[in-house]
Amino acid sequence: MIETAEIDITPSAAARVAAIAQKQGKAPILRLAVDGGGCAGFQYRFGLADAVEAGDTTAVRDGVTLVVDEVSLDLVRGSAVDFVESLGGASFQVTNPNAASGCGCGTSFSI
C-alpha cells in the first residue's frame, strides 16, 4: 500500500462512502478503477472494496480510504474524487487533470 498525494477524496465523497459502507456493513474503502470503453475511450468504475491490495495507492480522509490500482493510477494521477448532488441526480465524479476531454455523462474520458 502506497499512501501519497497522487490522488485525493473530498470530504463530501468521504461522507458518502462512509454512509454507504455503514448501510452495507462493509469497510469504508472506495476503489476507483479505469476501464477501457465508454463514449470517450476510458471510463471510471467505482465500488466498495473489502481490503487494500498490494500495490494500491491510497488516500485517506475522515476514516475513509480511496484506493487505486497501479494500472489505473497512471490515468488518474493528480485526480480528486468528489460526490456531487444536483438536479440531475447524485454521483461520484472525478476531477482528472490528465483527461484531454470528457463526455456529457461525466463517467468517461480520453487522454
Q: Give the tens place of pLDDT for each residue, 54-78.
A: 999 999 999 999 999 999 998 899 9
Indicate whether 83 belongs to any domain: yes
Indicate whether 109 belongs to any domain: no
Q: Say what the pTM is.
A: 0.83
The DSSP line for 25-50 is T--SEEEEEEEEETTTEEEEEEEE-S
Indicate whether 110 belongs to any domain: no
**Regions of the chain where pLDDT drops below 50:** 1-3, 103-106, 108-111
Cα–Cα distance for residue pair 41/2, rounded to 1 Å: 27
Indicate whether 111 belongs to any domain: no
- How many Cα neighbours within 13 Å face the side chain of 59? 23
Q: Which domain holds residue 49?
A: 2-104
Helix, strand or coil for residue 78?
coil
